[in-house]
Chains A and B, each alone.
Chain A
């Protein structure tokens, strides 16, 4: 189908308008973070920052507690991802490479657990953590993020391991490798891209999590970045440049990781649709 010139121009115009709509908030976040307080509060109509100051970033980084919250977020997120990865690889290896009674049931459990609206469980989880004496400690959040990302991790890794031919492992075993040795030496290296993809997804989920962090961490110094950022009215006294700079710092890890797996996410999702 050939389109006329006017058709192509009007399509492009619509496309640019859509791009402005979706791009503007991100643009505004970055540019505000580069403005001086005077520019932020000036009544002048300015869509482009002039001074390009980085003062907001230094002031956000030196805000009392910022580094603590950043560290807290990193500990719970990275910890949960690592735990989920270890437990996930073990379970996925068993599911993909071995036949055993209860295998189907376990897979079904993993599938259903992914659909469970975990947010509805924050009350029993809060009481569970309280009974375990973990409330207000980082391990409580780490455990919850581990549990919520685990089913997804197992399912993804199961798919990835299945994609690696078993013959390679068999060949290694004939050459004298033990079963575990064959898996570790042959399959695990080939699994690397799958491990990266899976852990990035888990990372983003845990990095963004808000509800459990708000409920579990009653102590200000134990909070994570999203909770702290949401309470910026007190933290910053409406210093919008500072808020935007902190938001940028908080967004960067997620943005970077996201770019790594974006394509895989889409292809995975379309493949995951119900068939028929």
Chain B
């Protein structure tokens, strides 16, 4: 997503048919043992990759967060266990709280705005005439498909202080004070531009998904609502809303997951500046960890970040796993 950024969730398909039991035929014992190991050999590469490249780092993260691991320890290979010191250090650091709250507010504002704009666009698409609808859909697909960093450079160019089209347009419209105005001079203004950038990339996916949900609502229900003389508002709540509610839950979850951990756009725009005022948690993590070489402290912050993310998405993950159980068994 953003861009499509990472597609993190199964584009689930129809529930699978239960696997067949292998046809009974007389076999030697050896062949039967061979047959038994086949599925394990087949899943082995994937299993090893997931365990070594995803599982092991997850365990490591816990371990590192309990160690003092700066450049010195990294070079000497010393293991310095310091218990929860990294956590207390982070939790007593006012900067950590400031950044966490900024990240949460930033995420909440973007997710809510994205959902509202996308819902509006989806409803709009349903009622537009085909020509304008296709035009809108083409622009949405282009916005969606353009890679994150390409989009980021375009936004920087549009918001450029001297030659940016935005300042030029505003000056043209008579707002002379915007000639040479810098959109990246304060944290709030920088975050607003970044938010707009994320919004621009995130809306198409959500809008198309909701639009597909709206089209999935039974036509007869709309007709019935029309015959009953329901107002558009009533029709929306009685017919459209039930059709898109599960989809809305899913895209909310995905948006939270994506927007909370956004790194590329924030970093590419101003590296968290000016003066750290647009630093979000992922940027903080990078600055502390890789740039500052405080790996232990950064791992503790990553753990806290995961904790926050788990808390706000736990309910949905639970629902998702439960609903996929039918596919699994």
Which A residues are closer than 8 A to B by beta carbons?
1, 3, 8, 11-12, 14-16, 18-23, 25-26, 28-29, 32, 40-41, 43, 45, 47, 86-88, 90-91, 93-100, 103-104, 106-128, 143-144, 146-148, 150-152, 154-156, 158-160, 162-163, 166, 170, 173, 201, 204-205, 207-211, 214-215, 225-226, 229-230, 232, 240, 243-244, 247-248, 250-251, 254-255, 258-259, 262, 264-276
Contacts and interface: CB of A to CB of B under 8 A. Distances in A.
B10 A258 contact: no
Contacts of B60: 124, 127-128
B54 A113 contact: yes
A45 B154 CA distance: 18
Interface in B243-268: 246-247, 249-250, 257, 261, 263-264, 267-268
A262 to B, nearest CB: 6
B147 A251 contact: yes
Nearest to B46: A91
A11 B149 contact: no
Which among B11, B155, B268 has the greatest number of chain A C-beta atoms within 10 A? B11
B213 interface: yes
Interface string B18-29: 011111000000
Interface stretch (B106-114, B157-165, B181-189): B157-165
A163 B13 contact: yes
Q: Describe A's contact surface by its main secondary structure.
A: helix
Nearest to B164: A240
B246 A259 contact: no
Q: Describe B's contact surface by its main secondary structure.
A: helix
B224 to A, nearest CB: 12
B10 A155 contact: yes
A266 B17 CA distance: 23
Given A15-B135, A98-B39, A229-B149, A273 B247 contact: yes
A33 to B, nearest CB: 10
Given A91-B42, A104-B329, A276-B323, 9 more contacts: A25-B158, A121-B58, A124-B58, A125-B57, A150-B49, A204-B147, A208-B1, A269-B209, A274-B246
Which among B45, B146, B169 has the greatest number of chain A C-beta atoms within 10 A? B146
B143 A25 contact: yes
10 contacts: A12-B129, A19-B139, A28-B158, A40-B163, A45-B168, A107-B327, A116-B58, A146-B49, A208-B148, A230-B264
Contact of B203 (A22, A99, A119, A125): A22
Contact of A106 (B43, B147, B209): B43
A123 B19 contact: no
B193 interface: no
A74 B100 CA distance: 36
